[in-house]
Structure 1
């Protein structure tokens, strides 16, 4: 991580005019775990200041109003809300189509259930590829332009989906729509790191994460009724309209928040005004000028480097992918269970997702209002020294809650218990998944604030790959084992994974410190 992104407490001395930024700020990769403090007051980023005598261009003081972390609170939350709205619409598209798949099967004459399931899950496969491209680009060209491009790419491909005349065309169009739709999911983590100090990131991440978890629940409800009354093509026309309106709003109201890009623009402007050719951004820690091609190559390598060279990121990716796979295996059974076993219409079957949806909301509220407070209390108890692993202890509780749903829902549906019972049985999984998902997401942002987009891309790509492919095995598994034992198998797997959060909490810091990753392309 960049040497100039070090997080420090508010009592940290600022850089005086004429002082060298390089001398004042040690490399974060070496010092991320050596921050000391004499107070537990909220943190403040240490920002590099302009020092023209050394040819360095930074912020105009620690309170520079152009610095995104110094934006007024209402502006910060408004920018986050803008991105969060699109973050709701994109995941909505992932599942909104699923209840209407039977109408597609009839129109195109497709009887293969694996192909039909793939036409739904292929959208999530787009989430696996998109972040690996968009996150690095945002760390070179900035968040705003990359997010806008991704949003419009998502919108345009809805037209292809709506006009598709074969299942093959529909699958291809949904893949590209998923790639565009991954923009808001990928860059939101970066925007949070850009705007918020760490004591506010838990709440900010909770707001932003509502979309990826609630969208797939709302989608089947809306898609079921819309597909039944207006036809499956209107699912995509509606996504086109809503997505277009929100994308236009993002285009007009969104602001650039990435500090590296903002200071680069400032450097270019000052160089033009003063005629000096020796000026460089204080965020550029490379002494030698690096070309655009080399910068892009290094940016594209970051998500892969994190996955391969950081054991803690790799393990978190595996754990989150497992939980995400369970979610989508859960989703594969809901439409058939409530239409075939309980006689629901296609539209009404979507309402069954409310059980897991209310669980998401409950878990989200718990994390939003406790995570930051617990972290601040742990920091104070630790002598004012913050460690990212302080985000993780609550995961143990939620990991224990999560498996309950598989036994409750699976056996109540298998024995045809009154329909409200299996719906209520989904609630614990929603609570548990949110309680696991949110701390991991915020932990990654805290560990890699400058490259939060790339770090989040690693998480998003791996979990989306599993979420897209694993459900394809769902129908055969449940046909073989039945609802009771099929869900029980998932429940036993979830129980087996309960010790994983304990290992993260106990050994996470040791692993993170022992295997640091050079994300700037420099030798430590």
Structure 2
């Protein structure tokens, strides 16, 4: 199977007559980061060794039949040298941790921006004389942007690197916070929130890739735990801070606070975060070497075997929807994540109903009710490295290709925590969110490997659309069903989703064998044997 069909990206090019290199070689990582390889940007003939190996001389000699002349031609694929200081995976621990904290804080701020406005939607309604449903669109349009933006920004990062996408999108987002804060009518506020949602989606989708760029697989447990907490901590802390801020200063200060935090992370990203994406770094190195040496045969796979534009657009725009519709694993995991995401955003509307309408609390005190969810998220993040160690221990029994279903074990235990939450307290919900979310992401990546970027984009798209929509009917649901039955309904839906990890644990391998997109060990063996 070729790269476009969802299997091993290391298939041999039909016109590539072999690698004639005898130098020392070292794998950059103990596990290939399929999601970080530019498979959507390169043709099926591309060889990914350039991005997965370090070589003594910083090059891989290859012989390729020219598409124009038909003759065999020698090229030198530019690689990182062994222990190359420019390879992000060889950076010092201090530099890696600095980059990790910057991007994790960026992710937190973006998520914070999505939730802080919920603290004073009433103020927006009174200022512009609109209904509560119209004010809720400030959340809905922002979250819709979270689903649409990744379809564009993730591929752009594969083409141009992480840094340009971070800098440009964050700058756009920061600029459009200002007219939102000064909006004279509801239309201006809604348009700016929509633009900000799309622009802010870029950091959310790039952070995981950035961490995979700089950390080796065996080092990644704690950094990924820090990142995984940020998207859930932000929406939880937002109403907590926003409640007291809106009580003191009014709803417009909720936007000025976004400007202060977002401007800070834009400066940090722009001034201090280096490029981390290996293909982009190697492309820059190849251009410099050609200029300094005059050797036009120093090249990268991105220049040697680019994918035609039509194929790129098909993989970027069509493939996520194909996976969502045709793949039961992607569809059901996406639906489960949508339920969790919707539950989180429902809380933004439900908590003011229960505690402000029902108990007479002010916005600040109501914000304190989100603390148990935050504590649950922190405890789950602290447990994530231990969960990862347990997975590595189990996977050693299976050698090179452990079954993807091993990733579901944490979900099978933690899925029961979420149904408890709507009925009793927020702590188990926060605890379950992280463990389930990480398990689902890992399962999708292991199941689809170099199709994982498209699969995750499909998941993000569906999750965000549902999260955006639920806030529009949460008020009516709580008023008509009552607090107790509304919470119970959410618990029942969460309980029904508990069947998903168990179903895939027992039948996932069979489902993947019937798929034309999913990865299987047999495909990897066939492609490797052909090299």
1:187–1:453: 8 Å Cα contact kept in structure 2?
no
Q: Counterparts of 1:206-285 in structure 2 under 5 Å?
A: 206-282=225-301
**Are residues 386 and 71 of structure 1, via their aligned partners in 2, closer, same or farther at CA, if it must alter by over 3 Å?**
farther
Deviation at 1:496, TM superposition (A): 1.2
For the 8 Å contact 2:377–2:434, the answer to whether it is kept is: yes
Where does residue 107 of structure 2 map in the other structure? Answer: 87
Corresponding position of 1:109 = 129
For these two proteins, the number of residue pairs brought into alignment is 473
Find the counterpart in structure 1 of residue 21 from structure 2.
Answer: 17
Q: Secondary structure at the match of 2:111?
A: helix
Map Cα deviations across residues 188-213 of structure 1 (whole Å, 9 max, x no partner).
Answer: 12213322333344433221122210
Contact between 1:124 and 1:464, CA under 8 Å: does it hold in 2? yes
In 2, the alpha carbon distance for the partners of 1:456 and 1:281 equals 27
Q: Are 1:100 and 2:120 an aligned pair?
A: yes
* Distance (whole Å) between structure 1 residues aligned to residue 511 and residue 208 of structure 2: 23
Residue 172 (structure 1) aligned to one of 191, 199, 220: 191
Q: Deviations over 1:23-73 (max 9, x none)?
A: xxxx999xx9xxxxxxxxxxxx94164124641323244433322223233
Partner of 1:128: 147
Distance 2:420 2:260 in 1: 39
* Aligned position for 2:522: none
For 1:397 and 1:330, the matched residues in 2 are separated by 23
Inter-CA distance 278–330: structure 2 relative to 1 (3 Å threshold)? same
Partner of 1:36: none
Alpha carbons of 1:188 and 1:500: their partners in 2 closer, same or farther (altered >3 Å)? same
Contact between 2:146 and 2:201, CA under 8 Å: does it hold in 1?
yes
TM-score, reference length from structure 1: 0.82
- Within 5 A, what are the aligned runs for 1:379-398? 379-383=395-399, 385-398=401-414
- SS for the counterpart of 1:507 is helix
* Pairwise CA distance, 1:282: 4.2
Q: Which runs of 5+ in 2 are unaligned?
A: 11-18, 26-31, 38-50, 63-73, 520-526
CA contact (8 A) 1:96 1:235 kept: yes
Does the CA contact (< 8 Å) of 1:139 and 1:451 recur in 2?
A: no
1:58 maps to 2:62: no
Structure 1 stretch displaced more, 381-390 or 391-400: 381-390
Structure 2 CA distance for partners of 1:245 and 1:60, relative to 1, 3 Å: closer
CA separation in 2, counterparts of 1:454 and 1:66? 29
Segment drifting more, 399-408 vs 201-210: 201-210
Taking structure 2 as the reference length, the TM-score comes to 0.81
Contact 2:173 2:195 in 1 (8 A): yes
Instruction: Give the superposition deviation at 1:479.
Output: 1.7
Q: Within 2, Cα distance between the matches of 1:438 and 1:490?
A: 21
SS of equivalent residue, structure 1 residue 402: helix
The answer to whether the 8 A contact 1:329-1:470 is kept is yes
Please, which of 325, 330, 336 is the counterpart of residue 353 of structure 2? 336
Is the partner of 2:191 in helix, strand or coil?
A: helix
C-alpha RMSD of the superposition: 3.1
Residues in 2 aligned to 1:328 and 1:145: alpha-carbon distance in whole angstroms:
31
Structure 1 spans left out of the alignment, 5+ residues: 7-14, 22-26, 33-44, 409-424
1:465 corresponds to 2:469 = no
Instruction: Kindly indicate whether residue 501 of structure 2 is the aligned counterpart of residue 501 of structure 1.
Output: yes
- C-alpha distance 315-124 of structure 1, shift in aligned 2 (>3 A): same
- Alignment partner, residue 140 of structure 1: 159
Partner of 1:377: 393
Quickly say closer, same or farther: Cα 1:451–1:518, change in 2 above 3 A.
Answer: closer
Q: Return the offset for 1:363.
A: 2.0
How far 1:348 moved relative to its partner?
A: 1.5
Structure 1 stretch 508-517 or stretch 112-121: which is displaced more?
508-517
Query: 493-502 or 322-331: which moved more?
Result: 322-331
CA distance in 2, matches of 1:103, 1:210: 30
Would the alpha carbon gap of residues 284 and 18 (structure 1) be closer, same or farther in structure 2, given more than 3 Å must change?
A: farther
SS in 2 for 1:255: coil
Aligned to 1:362: 379
Shift of 1:499: 1.3
Whether the 8 Å CA contact 2:78–2:298 is kept in 1: the answer is no
Q: 1:95 to 1:164 in 2, by over 3 A?
A: same
* Structure 2 counterpart SS, 1:472: coil
Deviation at 1:296, TM superposition (A): 5.9
Deviation string, structure 1 residues 211-254 (Cα, Å, up to 9, x no partner) = 21001111011111111111211111121122112111110111
Question: Compared with structure 1, are the counterparts of its residues 502 and 58 closer, same or farther at alpha carbon in structure 2 (3 Å cutoff)?
Answer: farther
Q: Is the 8 A contact 1:332 1:471 kept in 2?
A: yes
C-alpha distance after superposition, 1:379-400 (max 9, x if no partner): 2222464444332201011111
